[in-house]
Structure 1
C-alpha cells in the first residue's frame, strides 16, 4: 500500500511540474517599444502588477508601450495605468492570443497560454508563459515545417525536449527560460497547421536522451542538412563531444538544401584572408592555392591547419550556408560549391526526414545521429530520485 501511495505522489507531483509553464522570450530578434494583444480563442484576465482589470474578450485588445522602467497599459483607447509588469492569464487551458508589434510594425503571431510583459534597458521583454507541450508543438513546427512523416516529428520532439531541459536556465537573468531565436530553438508561433506534430509530442511525452556514459543530457544540436557528412563538434565550437563524431549520411544528399553555390569577388576573398589571417600571399605555392580548395570530407581549417584559418570564420563572414565547401577561380570571382545547410553537428533534419520516409522509427533515427545514447523518461528519473528531501525536477 505504501508503494501505491508513493507512486501516486510521484505521478501527481510530476504532472504538476511537467504540465506547468515554461517562460519563453519571444520577438527576441527585435527591439519592441509597443505591442498589441488581441482575442483569438478563450478569454484572458488582465493584470497590471497585482491589480486586475477585467478580462480580454472577443473584439477587444490591449496595448502595452514601454515608458522608461515601466510599461503603459491600455485597453482599447483607455489608459489603465503604468506598471512594472503586465500579465495576461488564460481562464482555461490552451487559450490563444494574437500578438502584433506596432513599434516597429511586425508580422502577427499567435501563441497558446499566458504572457508577461515588462520593460528592459532598450525595449519590452515579452514572455510567453506556456505549457511544455504547447511549447514543443510550436518549436517542432517552426523547425521542421509541415507535411513530414510522424516518426521524424517524434525524433524532433525528443531532441527539442532534451535541448530545452538541458538549457532551461539559459536566460534566467533576463526573466525567462529560453528564447525564440535559433541558439535556443526557433519558436515563431503556436502549433497551427500540423496535427501529426501534436500526436508526436503526445506519443513521446516525457522522453529525453542522455549520454550512456555520463548519464547527462546530450547536447541536442540539430541543423537543416549536413550535405552528406556530419561535422565533429570541435570543428564548430572547439569542444570535442564523444557522441558527436563525423560520419557519412546518405539520407539527405538529394534534398533541396543538399548543395549550393556562391560567387565572391577575388579581391574581397583575398583581402579577408590576408588582412585577418596574414595569408602568405607572397609565397608562390600558397598564392596558387588561395582560390583553389578541395574538401571531399569535412575539415576544420582552410587549406591547412597551420595557417590557422577556421572554416567557421569564413562561413560567418561571407554568410555561407555551411563550412562544407570547395572553391575554384572563375574570372574575377571565386566560385564556392557547397554542401549542406547549417553547422552540421548532430541531428540532420532532412536526413532524419529521409530515414523516416524509409521506415525507420524515431529511436532508430536518434541512435543513428547520437552514438551511445540512452532514452529516459521523467517518471523513471523521479522514481529513482525519490526519498526524503531528494525529490527534485531533474
Structure 2
C-alpha cells in the first residue's frame, strides 16, 4: 500500500485526529494509538487498522517512553490544545531535535497561535468563525450546522492527513521533518474556497437560502415522496433540467423560466406537488438511467444495499456486523485496504508494540510507564 513502512504515533483524541489516523492506516501506515492508562474504554470509533498502547503521560517515565517511540517513528499526530504538549516536555522543538525526520502534526480547532489558540470549541464554533456557518440554512431560518462534517472531518482530519502526506513527500527531497499546524477553522474556510471565490460571479450574492446551491433554487433541493421518503434534485444545467421536467411529466412551455429567481417559489410548489404523487421507488425507476440528476435520499440502513454501491463494494462489514464506508478508490496500483478486524481496546497491543520498538516487556505485566528493559 502507498504508506507501507510509515510509522505513526497517534495520541488518542476525539473525531478529527482519529479520522486522520484511520486514513493513514487504510493506506498502509502502521498507526499506534497512544491511550491513557486509566480509561475503561476508548471513544475512538475510527480505530480501524490501528494498534493501542496505553502509556501514562502523567509520569516522567511515560513521557520518556513516548519520546523514545517518536525517535523511531515518522509521524506524531496530536489533538491537544496549544501548549499541552510543551508542558509535558513533548513539544516539537524537543522531539524534532531528537528525530529531525519526524513529521509533527498538530490538529486543533483554532491553530497554534492567535487569541483563540487555547480556547475550547467544537465543529459548530469552528465553522462559525470560518464564515461558512453564516451561509448554511434555509431562507428565513437561523444558520444550521450540517452534522460535524465540515470542520472536524473535511477541514480537520482529511486536511491534516493531506498535510502529513505532503510533508512525507517533501521529506524525500530534504530529508527533514516539519511541523503541521492544522487549524480546523482555517481548514473549513479552505474547504469553502468555492463559496468564497464564487461570490463575484453571482452564485452567492443573495441572502442565505436564496442562492442556487443553498436550497434557494427549486431544481437543487429535496422533495418528499408519497411514502414519506425523499428524492434529491440537482438539475442545474439546461439539458439536465429538461430531463427533470420530462420525468415529472411537466410541460416546459407552461412553466416559468428556470433561472428566474422571482419565480422559484412557484416552481418549487409545482415540483413539490409532482414528487408527492409517487413513491420514492417509483421515482427512482423513472429517473434511473437518465441525466436528470435525481437520486433517492438513502438512509444509513439502506445505502450499502444500493446496486451501485454493491457493484463497487463501497461499504464493508466489521466483525460485529456493522457496515461502514470501505476503501476510497484513489489509487489503482496501491489502493487502500481497510482492516476488517475489531477496533483495538485500550492497551491491547502495549507489549507487542514495545517489543517491536526494542523494549523487553513482560507479557504478564506490561509496564506502560517505560520502566521495561531496553534491548
Specify which structure has the higher proportion of strand.
1
Which protein has greater RCO, CA pairs closer than 8 Å, 6+ apart? Answer: 2
Q: TM-score, normalised by structure 1?
A: 0.25
Q: TM-score, normalised by structure 2?
A: 0.26
